[in-house]
Amino acid sequence: MPLPRLSLTPGVSHGPLDGAWWPRCDALELELPALVASLDPAVGTVTRVTVDPASWPDAPQKVMAPGHVIEVVRSDPAAEAHALTLDCSTTGRWELLVAPPDEPAGAATRLLTAAADPENTLSAPRILALAESGLDAEATWASEGGPGLR
C-alpha cells in the first residue's frame, strides 16, 4: 500500500480545512485505507467519512480499513465540492481538500501546501477555483486574509 499524498495543518487547525489529500485514483475503496492508516494514532479510529458525490460517484457505503470498517456517507449535493470529512473517535472531525487524482504534480503540490497552511481561511472549492483560474492566486488569497498559494 503506497503512502498517501497528504498534507495536514500542523497543530490544531482553526480554519475551514485541516489539510489536503491527493489520491492516485477515484476508487475510494482503494485509496481510503492508506489514508486512514497514515494518520497519527492520536487521531483515533476513523469511523466515518463524508464524501463529495461528484468526486466519488462510485463510492461504496463501507470501506475496510486496517482493523475496522469505515462508514461512507455521501454529502448533500449542495455541500462543498472537493472536500472530504473524516470523523475520528478521539479528535472529532477533520476536513480535507481533495485534489483531483489527475491534477498535475506541481498544481497538486500547491493545493496541498495551501490547504495545510495554518493561516488559510479559504474553503476547498475556493482554493481550487483560484488554482484553476490562472490568476495571481497569491495576491487574491492575500486580499482575502490568507498568505496565498505558493
> How do residues 71-122 score in pLDDT, each as one tens digit?
999 998 777 889 999 999 888 899 999 999 999 999 999 999 999 999 999 9
> Residue ranges of the alpha helices (H) in 12-89?
28-38
Total-model pTM: 0.84
13-50: pLDDT as tens digits: 667 999 999 999 999 999 999 999 988 787 889 999 99
Domain range summary for the chain, segments of one domain joined by +:
6-143
Of 85, 17, 80, 31, nearest in space to 54 by CA: 80
Residue 106 has a pLDDT of: 93
The vertex-109 CA angle with 92 and 25, nearest 5°, equals 75
Yes or no: say if 32 and 65 are a contact pair by the CB < 8 Å rule.
Answer: yes
> How many alpha carbons fall within 13 Å on the CB side of residue 105?
0
Q: Measured between alpha carbons, how far is 18 from 123 in angstroms, rounded to an integer?
A: 10
- Across the chain, what does the average pLDDT equal? 86
Positive or negative, the Cα torsion across 134, 140, 146, 150?
positive
Residues 150 and 140: their CA atoms lie apart, in Å, by: 12
* C-alpha grid cell, residue 23: 489520491
Bridge partners (DSSP) listed for residue 98? 21
Q: What is the mean pLDDT of residues 124-145?
A: 70
Task: Give the C-alpha separation, 123 to 9, whole Å.
Answer: 14
Q: Burial-class residue 125 by CB neighbours within 10 Å (0-12, 13-18, 19+).
A: middle
